[in-house]
Amino acid sequence: MEKEKLEALLEDMSLQEKADQMLQLMGMFYQLDVNAILTGPAAAFGVSEEDIGMAGSILGTYGAQTLMEIQKNYMENQPHHIPLLFMMDVIHGMKTIFPMPLALGASFEPELAGRCAAAAAKEAAASGLHVTFSPMVDLVRDARWGRVMESTGEDPYLNALMAEAQVKGFQGEDMKEEGKVCACIKHFAGYGGAVAGREYHTAELSERTFRQYYLPAYKAGVDAGAGMVMTSFNTVNNIPATANQWLMRDVLRKEMGFDGVLISDFSAIQETVAHGYAEDKRDAARKAVEAGVDIDMMTSCYSGYLADLVQSGEIEEALVDECVRRILELKNKLGLFENPYKDADPEKEKELILCKEHRALAREAVGKSCVLLKNEGMLPLDLKKKTAFVGPYTDTRKMLSNWAVTGDQKDTVSLKEAAGEVFDQAVTTYHRGTPFLDRDMKLVGFESIEWKGATPEDGEWDEEAEERMFAQAVEAAGEAEVVVMPLGESFLQSGEACSRAMIELPRVQMKLLRRVAAVNPNIVVVLFTGRPLDLREISEIARAVLVVWMPGTEGGHGIADVLTGKVNPSGKLPMSFPYSVGQCPVCYNAFSTGRPCREGDNNRFFSKYLDIPNKPLYPFGYGLSYTSFTFSGVMLDRKEMSEEETITARVRVKNTGSLTGTEVVQLYLQDVAASVVRPVKELKDFEKVTLQPGEEREVAFLIDNEKLSFIRADGTVGSEAGLFRVWIGNCSETENVAEFRRT
């Protein structure tokens, strides 16, 4: 639609019609009997039949045929025949579920994340969807927070690259194109900084920390052209983000240049009342629209009060118009005025869903996201050896994650299925050994899911049945040469509203591990998890530890590829694994303090714990391979550079092992003394190199003024003269260092 026609449409809309364009409802409002809706959810929710008939968007419903019917019925009754926007949480796949986002972060391969997003967009678009609430680009440092699984990690540079790649994957060059959907950057802003890792909690961040660490990934997503941004639940400077004018108008709109649609998170506008910022829903509506929030997700604040606020003179109608204009412009960018169904096509949907190409990509992504933490000659597995698979993830399809809301467990390849294709079944046995969770553990809020003792497939367990499972598994482990133990969190233990104060494996699984270790020391732990865990005891007991995250649809195949050596692991930790929960939040790019504690220093008057080390058990950027690599010293082409000049830093990397492998060569910088304290290290670049046995290659990084820049004491951005250190190695704790000066 031409701009002039769009403006004419806006001008012809009634005030209430505009307010309802800013309303988003769940799909159930359009699928259930109208009388049941009006006397049930609508009555409780506070919306009228008129509001339902004119709401501008819906969420939580998918399927080409379903959405086409909803669109047709809606447009026939909408006063100006304006099409609906259909939105959904397509977080890491539509039906083909890829490894969870934190796992994709472990790949250190933004291009891979972009391809996964593009495949998800194809399936979502064919299913009738227009917008995905993804990517989540919140910086995460606290493993207690369940939503770390949705992020790509603790590093602003890596997160920014991943954000850019995913936005471009979802949207392409033009979101109107077939197979593309609008991306929604979330959650703006600072949501990952929740105090104590508790969901929906306050984020207490200084503005410098907020800008230097948390904002870059959002900015990268905006610069990549994201058509939508979602507000966060937390406060920023003691003001709820959803009603924060400085955050939304000054930072997001003016500084970052975002001109797309701003949507609240689920009920976030109304929640400003609970925050103690708005007096009631009417006040909440006023404050949110003044902040420039365009869409009210699942509350009646806008639909119920915006028209009255304008008519009473409390807000200008221009505020409403600017919001509705952005919504109409997004619908226009998607081509919905010309084709309200866009790519919805039941036949195309069947063709694309779980197609061969998407499954192959999912399998590739699993292989590249697995992180090998320990290996005492156990991996890759010798298929001729008698092997026992022992653990709750041995034969289950529940490895999609709590946020794979559109995925079907039945489509997932289990580890047992995949192992059955490559292992010699004459010498391979499979034993569950234990339920996922302790019998006394209750996952609060999951009562609607029929589960006993852990997850629905666990069934009813008593102590006697549990002991029989243990005995059978331990007996098999004692007879085997190698024991592969697929252990981990239940998929219900990470995700939204899944904060955990204790980040260890359930007691029942640790009991199984100890009993197996008593009869066979040759243990390979395959760890399924949505977050970093406390792995101290596991690392001591197991001879190999492979982190496979929540791997998705092709999890079984991808893991089997790595276990057997078909794929040599190359994943690196995108988030530090703490020594214990007492360190949380922990990250590699911290500050030194005035009394830094160095390893082996016994003086207690330094910044340290009495009972645990300062360092995480496994740091950011860490990950082993089945081969080995050596690095030469860091070579600089000059020892000084001006603000306008550059330095090239080089290393020679050699594969000194017997297998072809891929290493992630990582560049870190430190500004030794500056006008504000700077981190001990910051990732500034990386490159993945694949080398044959004995092959050696030079890897070069360009260091320019941008890599040295930061927010200086006076608030300006730039670099400062002084001493810099540059490290190049295979993780954040590398000691391969050189120095130069910025003159």
What 3-state class would DSSP assign to 409? Answer: helix
The single-letter code of the amino acid at 535 is: L
What is the SS3 string spanning 216-278?
A: HHHHHHHHCCCCEEEECCCEECCEEHHHCHHHHHHHHHHHCCCCCEEECCCCHHHHHHHHCCC
Q: Which of 702, 697, 670 is nearest to 683 (CA)?
A: 670
Q: Count other Cβ atoms within 10 Å, centred on residue 406.
A: 23
Helix axis angle, 215-223 relative to 156-171, nearest 10°? 30
What 3-state class would DSSP assign to 42? Answer: helix
Contact 62, 127 (CB under 8 A): yes
Q: Which of 292, 290, 242, 287 is nearest to 266 (CA)?
A: 242
- The strand pair at 131-132 and 182-188 is best described as parallel
Contact 229, 258 (CB under 8 A): yes
Q: Which of 646, 629, 627 is nearest to 638 (CA)?
A: 646
- d(CA 229, CA 66) in angstroms, rounded, equals 26
Cα 339 → chain centroid: 32
Catalytically active residues are 265
Beta-ladder partners of 727:
668, 737
Q: End-to-end CA distance of the chain, in Å?
A: 55
- d(CA 701, CA 602) in angstroms, rounded, equals 38
- d(CA 647, CA 702) in angstroms, rounded, equals 6
449 contacts: CB under 8 Å, gap ≥ 6: 455, 456, 492
Q: Count other Cβ atoms within 10 Å, centred on residue 32.
A: 14
- d(CA 500, CA 116) in angstroms, rounded, equals 29
Q: Count other Cβ atoms within 10 Å, centred on residue 250.
A: 12
Contact 689, 630 (CB under 8 A): no
Identify the sign of the CA torsion 409, 413, 414, 415.
Answer: negative
- d(CA 449, CA 654) in angstroms, rounded, equals 52
Helix axis angle, 281-290 relative to 301-311, nearest 10°? 80
Contact 268, 233 (CB under 8 A): yes
- Tokens 């001008």: give the residue: 11
- d(CA 433, CA 436) in angstroms, rounded, equals 10
Q: What angle do CA 328, 332, 338 make, to 5 degrees?
A: 125
Tokens of 51: 């509001």
Tokens of 619: 């740091």
Q: Which of 120, 123, 130, 86 is nearest to 100 (CA)?
A: 120
- d(CA 505, CA 124) in angstroms, rounded, equals 34
- The strand pair at 635-636 and 647-655 is best described as antiparallel
- d(CA 251, CA 260) in angstroms, rounded, equals 14
Q: How many residues does the chain have?
A: 743
Contact 46, 52 (CB under 8 A): no
